[in-house]
């Protein structure tokens, strides 16, 4: 009898730890996607600066910010150990390249009045996450989850066919970020340290580009206003904070679950583009919005039922 009680207690403890991990993942996912949703407001402040120049500031100042975080969190030994593993460095080099492409595309879209295209890209992204999750991690969806995916896909494809042209920017944003999520999920690397190494890999290219190829008036920080320089330096925080939350969430949630949280970010972008920045909105885009939020409601309801059922089974 004691052994049965012990077994039951272990099951309860294991479930409790799992639920705690999931809650942490959910909070990190919410934080990441809210920050990403509001990021266009920041980049619009730099609309007069080229996308490549903004990207180099993202890389340089995020490297500095992450380095401080690693020192404060006393993880510099982890950094040293990872730097001695060529296979990990090679994988992080690949993920950093994909991340740089995603950053550049997003900056260009926001500052060239294509925020709706960026929004559509991140609406499509969870569909890529689900496909990659099933392909690489053998994740399986329940019936209601499949219906939710079908609703979301229907909304996205309705807009694609109605617009009548292939949204290259949207698809590139969606695929690049989905691939980045898979690459980071497959690596057992500390979030802070992994992001720092990725930034450091991009850093020499960013500095060379800044010193020898940028010819804009804003390239010389000594000639800029303090407000502009502070805005450029803050690119490190704006870039790093949501990524840290995202990588923490990716390690605790399935890709399919993580994918549906991502609708928060593009929904905020969609509202900003439509009502604040006054980008033109077609009927199909509004219908897509309705389809996707319907999918979110169904998916959330299914997740709640599944958690409740799991708790009952442990009683």
Rounded Cα gap, residues 70 and 221, in angstroms = 27
* Tokens 């593009």, located at residue: 266
Using an 8 Å Cβ cutoff, are 46 and 111 in contact?
yes
Whole-structure pTM value: 0.81
Residue 21 lies in a domain: no
Q: Which one has a higher pLDDT value, 301 or 86?
A: 86
Confidence class of residue 295 from pLDDT cuts 50, 70 and 90? Answer: confident
Residue 142 lies in a domain: yes
For the segment 117-141, the average pLDDT, to the nearest whole number, is 77
Using an 8 Å Cβ cutoff, are 92 and 196 in contact?
no
Confidence class of residue 41 from pLDDT cuts 50, 70 and 90? Answer: very high
Return the pLDDT at 248.
83
Confidence class of residue 256 from pLDDT cuts 50, 70 and 90? Answer: low
Residue 9 lies in a domain: no
Among residues 252, 278, 283, 294, the alpha carbon closest in space to that of 149 is found at 294
Rounded Cα gap, residues 130 and 140, in angstroms = 9
Residue 89 lies in a domain: yes
Residue 15 lies in a domain: no
Domain span including residue 250? 29-314
Residue 291 lies in a domain: yes
- How many domains are contained in the chain? 1
Residue 18 lies in a domain: no
Residue 11 lies in a domain: no
Rounded Cα gap, residues 151 and 156, in angstroms = 9
């Amino acid at each position: 009898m004691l052994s049965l009680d012990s077994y039951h207690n272990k099951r309860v403890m294991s479930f409790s730890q799992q639920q705690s991990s999931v809650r942490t993942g959910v909070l990190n996912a919410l934080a990441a996607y809210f920050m990403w949703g509001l990021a266009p407001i920041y980049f619009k402040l730099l609309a007069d600066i080229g996308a490549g120049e903004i990207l180099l500031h993202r890389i340089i100042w995020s490297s500095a910010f992450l380095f401080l975080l690693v020192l404060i969190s006393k993880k510099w030994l982890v950094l040293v150990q990872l730097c001695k593993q060529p296979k990990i460095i090679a994988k992080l080099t690949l993920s950093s390249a994909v991340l740089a492409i995603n950053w550049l595309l997003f900056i260009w879209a926001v500052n060239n009045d294509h925020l709706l295209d960026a929004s559509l890209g991140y609406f499509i992204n969870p569909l890529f996450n689900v496909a990659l999750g099933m392909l690489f991690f053998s994740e399986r969806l329940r019936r209601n989850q499949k219906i939710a995916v079908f609703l979301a896909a229907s909304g996205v494809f309705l807009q694609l066919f109605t617009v009548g042209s292939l949204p290259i920017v949207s698809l590139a944003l969606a695929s690049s970020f989905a691939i980045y999520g898979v690459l980071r999920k497959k690596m057992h690397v500390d979030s802070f340290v992994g992001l720092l190494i990725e930034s450091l890999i991009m850093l020499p290219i960013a500095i060379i580009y800044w010193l020898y190829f940028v010819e804009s008036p804003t390239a010389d920080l000594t000639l800029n206003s303090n407000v502009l320089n502070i805005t450029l330096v803050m690119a490190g925080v704006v870039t790093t904070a949501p990524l840290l939350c995202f990588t923490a969430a990716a390690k605790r949630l399935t890709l399919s679950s993580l994918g549906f949280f991502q609708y928060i970010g593009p929904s905020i972008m969609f509202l900003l583009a439509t009502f604040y920045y006054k980008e033109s909105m077609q009927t199909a885009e509004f219908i897509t919005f309705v389809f996707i939020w319907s999918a979110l409601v169904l998916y959330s309801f299914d997740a709640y039922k599944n958690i409740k059922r799991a708790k009952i089974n442990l009683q």
